[in-house]
Amino acid sequence: MNIVEAKQIRLEAKDRLLASIEHLVIQEKDRIGLVGKNGSGKTTLLHVLAGKAKASEGTIIRRGLIELLPQLKRADLGKSGGEITQRYVNEAFYSGAKLLLADEPTAHLDRRHVEWVEKKLVEWPEAFVVVSHDRAFLDAVCTTIWEITETGFYIYKGNYSAYEMQKEERRHRNELEAEKYEQTKRKLEQAIAAKQKKAKRAVKKPKSVGLSEARNVKPYYAKKQKKLQTAAKSLETRLEKLEKIEKPQELPPVQITAQHQESLKGRVVIRAEKVEGKAGKQDLWKAADFFIYGGDKTVLIGPNGSGKTTLLEKIVHRHEGISIAPAVSVGYFSQHLTILKPSRTIIENVKEASGQDESLIRTVLARIGFWGEDVFKKVSVLSGGERVKTALVKLLVSDANVLILDEPTNFLDIQAVEALESLLAEYRGTVLFTSHDRRFAERIATNVLAIEDGKLAAFTGTLHEYKEKKILPSHNEKAEKLLLLETKIAEVVSRLSLEPADELEQELKRLLRKKQALTK
């Protein structure tokens, strides 16, 4: 049975066309992932499907209860993003909806809570459409991908990895079609030029023909010229009707050279000795030692609230126990984006701290999504995602040779995340970063720093190898029990918010005592 059927939908924002969708259907048990660039209309489409907003044009037929889980805002400062998400997801599941529309349900969640949302969606028997920039999450829960692009609305069968393969095949077909178009265009242009040249020569008197004879054969030459001109016109008409196929835009790989990279490679660039983690009176981790070497790409992992940002800031500000090699120049990305000047353009901001050639800077900007005249936009008019991209490029092409990046993938669409992945993979300097995007971390990291159970430890090897060693909390019995308790607590809180009862209050107190005992 169709839960939703939409026809000839047109989505607009401030008179700007976001998307035009001829036909879409959501059936029972459909598991759909919705992807597209920032500002492409994903959130607008969810609100239109839920009946919370109206499309500019089109008709929508709905059957059954539809629950919208909007992008969550941290209104309750006493609770973590994971706790808030758990409550909202549980309420959505208890609502009896036939269709769940979830907008970035994993945003800002640590790995454990993302896996909890994954498990809930996998087990849920009803249909859902989920917007997410987390490719591993989309792989785990989806069997269909919808994509909104500048050129249209596309449906792909399979999870995100299957979508990537199909899209690559489509890009390859477009390349072949574009080459065929160019060949046909060249042949027609050459044929037109040849006919026009012959037409010009057709009325010229041959040297062997006298003036009196030329007057007699003039009508013949005029007729011949007209025939050639008609043939040329026919070819021009064919050229005009030839469907233009643009070759997909491709940028060459770019290798960003960091200062002193060769002399720093393999040497200790950051040394931490007996570094403690504290937030006020709370102990985050016990005193620990670790080293980061030149050329390493190290991911810092740990649950929300474990102290990842605290550690990064200790390094940036060279707190007690932290020493940095003299030749090191640190570039720090934080969510506050303090390195940008709003009154200046993208290109002005990026060039400000860079000694790189402008052609390389423009190439890097294009790789992350700023094409042509885009680079002359002022930062003050940019969206949150565009500001993040500008700040990241500014650091990548700066004179820094050690980049410290705190959640650089937040607010980026999937295309921008993949572009950043590629740029960091090609970057020759040193990188220390945190990210909730598991695939991003797996593809970039060559080493791991982990904060777990109040301890800070270093691991030499990739994140995948680290997981294989069963060091991560998901393979830790205590952490598994804690996650189960958190899930039960969230469910009880959700039920209490819907129907207060003494029995539930007592159950909540019991679960909280168990959690307190387990975390001691």
Q: At 337, give phi and psi (nearest 5°).
A: 55, 40
Give the H or E element holding residue 310: helix 308-316
Q: Helix, strand, or coil here: 377? A: coil
Q: DSSP assignment, residue 411?
A: T
Q: Read off the pLDDT of each residue in 451-473 and give the average, rounded to a whole number.
A: 81
Segment among 237-251, 344-358, 404-418 with least mean pLDDT: 237-251
For residues 82 and 111, give the distance between their C-alpha atoms in angstroms, rounded to a whole number: 10
β-pair partners for 450? 301, 457
pLDDT at res. 472: 45
Cβ atoms within 10 Å, residue 114: 23
Indicate the Cα dihedral angle 160, 164, 166, 168, nearest 10°: 170
Burial zone of 517 (CB within 10 Å; 0-12 exposed, 13-18 middle, 19+ buried):
exposed
Task: Report whether pLDDT(428) > 80.
Answer: yes
pLDDT at res. 494: 63
Q: At 124, give phi and psi (nearest 5°).
A: -70, 130
Q: What is the pLDDT of residues 50-91, one digit of tens each?
A: 999 999 999 999 999 999 988 776 545 556 566 677 777 788
For residues 281 and 84, give the distance between their C-alpha atoms in angstroms, rounded to a whole number: 25
pLDDT at res. 475: 43
Q: Read off the pLDDT of each residue in 432-448 and give the average, rounded to a whole number.
A: 93
For residues 397 and 412, give the distance between their C-alpha atoms in angstroms, rounded to a whole number: 19
Return the beta strands (E) in 257-321 as ranges: 268-279, 282-293, 297-301
Cβ atoms within 10 Å, residue 223: 11
pLDDT at res. 464: 87
Portion of the chain with pLDDT greater than 70, in percent: 86
pLDDT band at 474 (very low <50, low <70, confident <90, very high): very low
Task: Report whether pLDDT(473) > 50.
Answer: no
For residues 246 and 261, give the distance between their C-alpha atoms in angstroms, rounded to a whole number: 39
Query: CA separation (Å) from 35 to 27, 39, 204, 268, 360?
Result: 19, 11, 64, 41, 29
Segment among 6-10, 134-138, 302-306, 390-394 with least mean pLDDT: 302-306
Edge-to-edge, what's the strand order for the sheet holding 447-452?
330-333, 402-406, 430-434, 297-301, 447-452, 455-460
Pick the residue with more confidence: 290 or 337? 290
pLDDT band at 282 (very low <50, low <70, confident <90, very high): confident
Task: Report whether pLDDT(281) > 80.
Answer: no
Q: Read off the pLDDT of each residue in 139-159 and give the average, rounded to a whole number.
A: 93
Give per-residue burial for 18-28: e unless 16+ CB within 10 Å, then b.
Answer: bbbbeebebee
Q: Which amino acid is at 358?
A: E
Two tokens, residue 410? 């937040």
Given the DSSP bridges, would you call strands 455-460 and 447-452 parallel, antiparallel or unpaired?
Answer: antiparallel
Q: How far apart are the first and last CA of the chain?
A: 51
β-pair partners for 361? none
For residues 503 and 490, give the distance between their C-alpha atoms in angstroms, rounded to a whole number: 16
Task: Report whether pLDDT(458) > 80.
Answer: yes
Q: Read off the pLDDT of each residue in 213-225 and give the average, rounded to a whole number.
A: 60
pTM (predicted TM-score): 0.72
Q: Helix, strand, or coil here: 109? A: coil
| Cβ-contact 445, 292 below 8 angstroms | no
Alpha-helical regions (H) of 427-520: 438-444, 463-468, 477-498, 502-519
For residues 255 and 428, give the distance between their C-alpha atoms in angstroms, rounded to a whole number: 7
Two tokens, residue 489? 């607590």
